Amino acid sequence: MHLRIRLTCRKYEIWALSFFSLVTGLYVLHFSIALILVNKEVPSTRGMLYPRESETREVRSLDGIWNFVRSDQANPTQGVRDEWYAKELSKSRPTIPMPVPASYNDITTDNLRDHVGTVWYDRKFFVPRSWAKDQRIWLRFGSVHYEAYVWINGQKVVKHEMGHLPFEAEVTDLLNYGAENRITVMCDNALIQTTVPQGRITEVPNDGGMTIVQSYTFDFFNYAGIHRSVHLYTTPRTFIEEVEVTTNLSKDATVGEVFYSVSVNGSAANEADNVLHVQANLYDKEGKLVANATSDGKLGGKLQVNPVKPWWPYLMHPEPGYLYQLEIKLLATNDELLDVYRLKVGIRTLSWNSQQFLINGKPVYFRGFGRHEDADIRGKGLDNALMVRDFNLLKWIGANAYRTSHYPYSEESMQFADEHGIMIIDECPSVDTENYSQELLGKHKSSLEQLIHRDRNHPSVVMWSIANEPRTASVSADSYFELVANFTRSLDKTRPITAAIAVPNTQDKAGRSLDIISFNRYNAWYSNAGRLDMVTQNVIDEAIAWNKRYNKPIIMSEYGADTLEGLHMQPAYVWSEEFQTEVFSRHFKAFDELRKKGWFIGEFVWNFADFKTAQTYTRVGGNKKGVFTRARQPKAAAHLLRKRYFALGRDLDQCSFPDDLFTYIADLIS
């Protein structure tokens, strides 16, 4: 069989050979006329609370060194057909050690980096005898990119499609208690026209005959593997499956309200004479109880906090990121304690209109970054050291926001953003979307459903981004984005919707469906390269045109220039540190003009740090538009940006300057 045919059939085969139903349609035709798209339902996520220990729950990490096998590129389904999951992987193939969490691409010295298709992981673990008692055990993955199939002790457990998002399954009946167990994961990194994001797989000749090539138009490396932590956790038989929280503030911001609603899973919930109820306790940072309530059988209610400390962004208030702890206790009719779950809650309001975006009634001016989860060696694998360093740099430079370009970031980083008062524009993994289809629409909506389910309780999340640089000039984009935006709104009415658009405003068909318009443009780089005299007016003109067309608040969501650290040229020349600094400065001038208009609400540099991309002649070791290097050290422009972000903070939000913001030059200058 030709490789292409095998690959085209691959997903059918895997599904048919394993345990789930059949998916349809792999490659999608390019339609030049508008598609008739139907608003079909997408499956709803359940459960998936971040795994936390409590007096009723235990958590165990399965992170560490796993065994790893790559499939033959030409035969990606062989492992399923030959049932590699039925025994240790090493019995089928020689294995190599592989860290979890991490991308597998940059770990070895051979070309695993460019492998296309399936890879396999397994490891053994012990489950204590005590876990066999009256409780349930769950297996949870923080994320596997792009598609994952999981077995425990050779038994099917779960299949999940979509990178950067968590999934879980109950494994109570599959485990050996007080004994050894084996977990096997097959991961598939192939991106095709109906995955989110889209890619293409082609069969091309090479020196050895024919080979498979993965291509994609988006500008970051398609890192793959078990990217985030793997946990086993216990819950009682009847347990708190979901907690949803929304908040409100009185007009004078002195009284806060926390609305909570809880869903329960388990047999006790179905017993007619057992009216489950919830006791909700809210504690402040010092651990003092500030509000409590007991729900009725509807398992929801309201807590009132008076006086309240609202959640504020970094530099907008002397005490940013204030979080309360919400303790949810699930009780049976006789007040028997069934389950306890605790989460952090920030009390704040969001609102927006055709001019402004406001937090707690105060207009926000975003000063931030587009970023990537990306690092040397570990790729997109969760790395706490890197995460803490990045937040230190964000605070050092005076940023108050970032966009999770171009996919959901780790849950741990969302919690960190809550704590530090960094506002998040939370983006789903739809990047460079084109060739719109019904199947793609379903997956795109599902990615947003999973994202909103995961992140809805984070005070740091202030906006949903439903796409980056989709091809919105096409006729089909019109109804496609209307459906995506309306679906997003139906899931969360408390946050505005944006998308980062790059087509000319005259051609765009998505903006009418958004609440806030974000645009990406590279003046003096992709257009008029090197022409620093062609930045300021172009930025002003384009922002005005977007605002005129849609009468909505405008953000410049990307601008910047590739910069090789250590390359200096005076006068400024492309790729030099002087050039990046000048490009920024010319944009700042435009932004200050635009700010006077009242509807220009934010500036986001592309990018926070240098990052890896696919190999092309336009990229030297990756995309170098970082203000920081990939090793997270500042380029010259970082010092300029820092002065601007703090100057904006002082002007708009009355923050104070850090002591080391200005270097002493002379008595004459202050």
Q: Which residues are the active-site residues?
A: 469
Distance of CA 427 to CAs 246, 474, 498, 499, 637, Å? Answer: 20, 22, 9, 8, 26
Closer by beta carbon to ligand GCB, 142 or else 560: 560
Closer by beta carbon to ligand GCB, 450 or else 518: 518
Q: How far is the CB of 625 from ligand GCB (least distance, A)?
A: 5
Nearest to 305 by CA among 241, 348, 352, 351: 348
- How far is Cα of residue 115 from the mean position of the Cα atoms in its chain? 24
Q: How far is the CB of 623 from ligand GCB (least distance, A)?
A: 5
Closer by beta carbon to ligand GCB, 136 or else 625: 625
Q: How far is the CB of 220 from ligand GCB (least distance, A)?
A: 6
**Which residues 469-528 are close enough to bind ligand GCB by CB under 6 A?**
469, 502, 520
Closer by beta carbon to ligand GCB, 400 or else 520: 520
Closer by beta carbon to ligand GCB, 151 or else 366: 366
Closer by beta carbon to ligand GCB, 558 or else 653: 558
What DSSP string describes 502-515?
-S-TTT-SSGGG-S
Task: Provide the 8-state DSSP code for 84.
Answer: G
Angular region, 89: left φ>0, alpha ψ -120 to 50, beta rest: alpha
Q: How far is the CB of 558 from ligand GCB (least distance, A)?
A: 5
Closer by beta carbon to ligand GCB, 341 or else 559: 559
Closer by beta carbon to ligand GCB, 311 or else 606: 606
Q: Which of 558, 603, 610, 653 binds ligand GCB (CB under 6 A)?
A: 558
The neighbouring-strand residues paired with 461 are 424
**Which residues 97-116 are close enough to bind ligand GCB by CB under 6 A?**
none
Q: How far is the CB of 595 from ligand GCB (least distance, A)?
A: 23
**d(C-alpha 56, C-alpha 73), whole Å:** 45
**d(C-alpha 143, C-alpha 585), whole Å:** 39
Q: How far is the CB of 145 from ligand GCB (least distance, A)?
A: 17
Three-state secondary structure of 409-443: CCHHHHHHHHHHCCEEEEECCCECCCCCCHHHHHH
**Cβ contact 542:579 at 8 Å:** no
Q: How far is the CB of 589 from ligand GCB (least distance, A)?
A: 22
Distance of CA 497 to CAs 276, 462, 465, 508, 513, Å? Answer: 36, 9, 6, 16, 9
Closer by beta carbon to ligand GCB, 219 or else 339: 219
Closer by beta carbon to ligand GCB, 122 or else 558: 558
β-pair type (401-403, 147-152)? unpaired
**d(C-alpha 536, C-alpha 13), whole Å:** 55
Q: How far is the CB of 605 from ligand GCB (least distance, A)?
A: 11
Report helix angle 411-420 to 384-397, nearest 10: 30
Cis peptide before 101, with omega less than 30 degrees from 0?
A: yes
Distance of CA 577 to CAs 428, 460, 588, 635, 657, Å? Answer: 32, 32, 17, 7, 25
Compose the 180-219 pattern: x for residues touching ligand GCB by CB under 6 A, - for all others: ---------------------------------------x
Give the contacts of 216 (CB within 8 A, at least 6 positions apart). 191, 197, 198, 199, 200, 222, 432, 614
Angular region, 64: left φ>0, alpha ψ -120 to 50, beta rest: left
623 interacts with ligand GCB by CB under 6 A: yes
Report how many residues bind ligand GCB under the rule CB under 6 A.
9
**d(C-alpha 650, C-alpha 611), whole Å:** 31
Q: How far is the CB of 606 from ligand GCB (least distance, A)?
A: 6
242 interacts with ligand GCB by CB under 6 A: no
Task: Give the HSE-up count for residue 165: Cα atoms under 13 Å, Cβ half-sphere.
Answer: 27
**Which residues 450-469 are close enough to bind ligand GCB by CB under 6 A?**
468-469
* Cβ-based neighbour number of residue 232 at 10 Å: 22
**Residue 325 burial (10 A CB sphere; 0-12, 13-18, 19+):** middle
Q: How far is the CB of 469 from ligand GCB (least distance, A)?
A: 5
Alpha helices in 162-249 (DSSP H): none
The neighbouring-strand residues paired with 369 are 402, 605
The neighbouring-strand residues paired with 379 are 375
Q: How far is the CB of 481 from ligand GCB (least distance, A)?
A: 17
Closer by beta carbon to ligand GCB, 406 or else 456: 406
**Closest residue to bound ligand GCB by CB:** 219
**d(C-alpha 345, C-alpha 368), whole Å:** 23
Q: How far is the CB of 196 from ligand GCB (least distance, A)?
A: 15
**Cβ contact 542:521 at 8 Å:** yes
Residue reference for tokens 């979509």: 162
Q: Which of 159, 164, 458, 625 binds ligand GCB (CB under 6 A)?
A: 625
Nearest to 344 by CA among 285, 264, 269: 285
Closer by beta carbon to ligand GCB, 65 or else 620: 620
Compose the 570-609 pattern: x for residues touching ligand GCB by CB under 6 A, - for all others: ------------------------------------x---
**d(C-alpha 444, C-alpha 589), whole Å:** 37
- The site for ligand GCB (CB under 6 A) is made up of 219, 468-469, 502, 520, 558, 606, 623, 625
